[in-house]
Amino acid sequence: MKGSLELWGLPLGELARLLAADTLPAALLNPGTAPLFLLVLGLVAFQYARIGQMEARLYGRPLVPLWHRVLTAIAAGLLGGFIGGLVITAAGVVLEPRDVTPLWPVALGLALIRPRFLCFAYATGLIGASHLLLGWPQVHVPGLVALVGALHLAEAVLVYVDGAEGATPVLARNGRGEVVGGFLLQRFWPVPAAILVLVNLTAPGGGIEMPSWWPLVGPADPARLNAAGWIVVALPLVAGLGYSDLALTATPGTRSRQTALVMVLYSAALVAMAALAERDARWLWPAVLASPLLHEGMIQLGIARERWGRPLFGPPAQGARVLWVWPRSPAAALGLQAGDVILTANGRPVRRESDLRAVSMDLWEGPLRVFDLELEIQRGNRRLTRRLQRFDPGAPFGALLVPPPGDPVSPLIDLGRGKHLFGA
């Protein structure tokens, strides 16, 4: 169409309109895919409910309401599905129905072993290896590998824009045995996307004209692309994507952006190997093995960085470091931020939460129980004084502090030698 946005001959404007107006709404409304979307949405809500229960055990109540986590996950999943579907259709990853049929059953079975194995990267590795060794199931390996690569590009976008949402503050023991502050990042998304499927039916006419180099990864029998009675259609695909990470050496936002960049490289590597395997059978095994092994390596390298890297929220030489501030709490009213170091409270040195409680008890005099609180804090290279009038010493202060070395604490996460994260 004249005036449509094009890149390398690709009618991106037309493809975007097709996805937004037809394919993605079908994933939510079509009787064939809507139940699967609702199932994935239920699994996502269940995971967020478990996170809320964990936070309630740690802090008395969930830090983020369940409805907020679910609604933001749906919104982000729609964005990720649109981007993933656009990549799949624009690059041309053409599959057949038999290629995608075993994906969900195998992924769900692997998830029973370890939840993170729900990712299609592991199912594709198992299905591809079975096909190459046993000739079963009948799938087109390059297409499956390219599909995983495209979905992880969508996941990279999700992690970049939404991976740090609702991060849970935790205490963790790193590889050197130090108890430090950090954040547990856990996000799950229901993703309605699109896949290109070669089907045998009469074309209804019209369609979108694609460039001569398209598709990048075709079906098992490329001759059928131009055969009479065979057409490529964009069909809805429902996927569940998840992201679990730990931020000890960086803020949750920085950590999620670092991970997103690595995911982009992983995605590009898979799509490139799939394209090579499409043209040279010697690349089939490297592509199949790369899907789960590079994914696992990506996870383990990230954990190693957090295990041995310099912690961002370690205990300071003096004072007590703030890890988390409750909204609408006295600590929030004082303007405290994550990373601040509380040096003194009403002139008394502070090293741990019990020191703040001791100051509160000293103020516990008279019938009103309302007093002034003055904190001296270190923020970067600056020393600041914060005052709060009408402070109620009987109310929770609302700040989670990193304990000093030697305090008897039981960290939620242990990354010491021989320890693992997320059942890795």
* Residue carrying structure tokens 């502050």: 181
pLDDT in single tens digits along all 424 residues of the chain: 444 677 778 888 888 998 898 888 988 888 888 999 999 999 899 999 999 999 999 999 999 999 999 999 999 999 999 988 888 888 888 998 889 899 989 998 998 888 778 889 999 999 999 999 999 999 999 999 999 998 899 899 999 999 999 999 999 999 999 999 999 999 999 999 888 888 776 655 567 888 888 888 988 888 777 777 778 888 888 888 888 899 999 999 999 999 999 999 999 999 999 999 999 999 999 999 999 999 999 988 998 999 999 999 999 999 999 999 999 898 999 999 999 999 999 889 999 888 887 877 666 555 555 577 889 999 999 999 999 887 777 778 899 999 999 888 888 888 865 445 544 4
Dihedrals phi, psi of 321, to nearest 5 degrees? -85, 135
Helix (H) or strand (E) holding 158: helix 141-162
Residue 200 CB coordination number (10 Å): 11
Give 341's strand partners: 321, 378
What 3-state DSSP class applies to 27? Answer: helix
Residue 216 CB coordination number (10 Å): 17
pTM for the whole thing?
0.86
**Rounded-to-integer distance, Cα 188 and Cα 40, Å:** 10
